[in-house]
Amino acid sequence: MSIKIMSMIWDDGPAKQSERFVLLALADYANDQGECWPSIAGIARKTCLTERGVQKILRRLSDDGWLLIEVGTGRKNCNIYTVKTPNDVHPEQSSPPNLSAETPNLSAENPEQGSPEPSLTINKPSVSRGDIVHQHLIAWAGGSAVRSFIEYRRKMRKPLTETAAMRQAEQLKKIFQAGGDTDDALGMAEEKGWRSVQADWYFNAKGKRDGQSNYSGQSPQGRDNGADPALEQIARLARLR
């Protein structure tokens, strides 16, 4: 266990709760250089997540620069993971830019008459609504499933708004935390013609498909049965332990 690495993650780790949780679990295995080689099953047990969920989060951490993954190079062919410090992920900008080479009129004592003054306006790249919608959903589901669902909504002539994407992401989070497959949930919405998917819809439909029901609540056509979904989810997780 590296208290040093864990402390840095607590202070300046990833903003997303699931990613920070997995990174802390790795730090619990790691030395002070951030190196460790746990199995996926071991990380899943430590975080109470599914192995599939852990793999998705590890890929996101690697893509975002929080984690270096060396595949199959550890003990018993396990991956070697190196947790990066916040400074590695977000290096400080200590050196000021060299303005004289880019804008000679700024450093010249007698700039040429009539030369236009350099613009100080910084044009930030614009972010489209589609990019924002994609970012909300990609945090909890795979890229192909997200792209398919966004296209499905577009073909329905009901494209996802930013608010709708945020709400859908919350439902995907519930499905993920309850051990469900978020890619499967989005695919089920398309198959059944739902405009969205909620955790209780997904688990009820999945239970009927598999011959058992492991989640109670409101179905797309039904009404609220009066139970508190949060309490039911806690009870279900307690039974799984």
**Contacts with 113 (C-beta within 8 Å, 6 or more apart), sequence order:** none
Domain count, the chain: 2
Structure tokens, 89: 């992920």
| CATH classification of the domain holding 84 | 1.10.10.10
pLDDT in the model for residue 128:
67
This prediction's pTM? 0.42
Q: How many helices (H) and strands (E) does the chain have?
A: 13, 3
pLDDT in the model for residue 167:
94
pLDDT in the model for residue 184:
93
Domain identity same for 140 and 80: no
Contact 158, 146 (CB under 8 A): no
Q: What residues of the chain score a pLDDT lower than 50?
A: 92-95, 99-109, 119, 122, 124-126, 216-227, 240-241
Q: Which of 69, 71, 64, 70 is nearest to 88 (CA)?
A: 64
Give domain status of residue 198, yes or no.
yes
Domain boundary among 89, 121, 150: 89
| Domain containing residue 175 | 129-235
pLDDT in the model for residue 87:
65
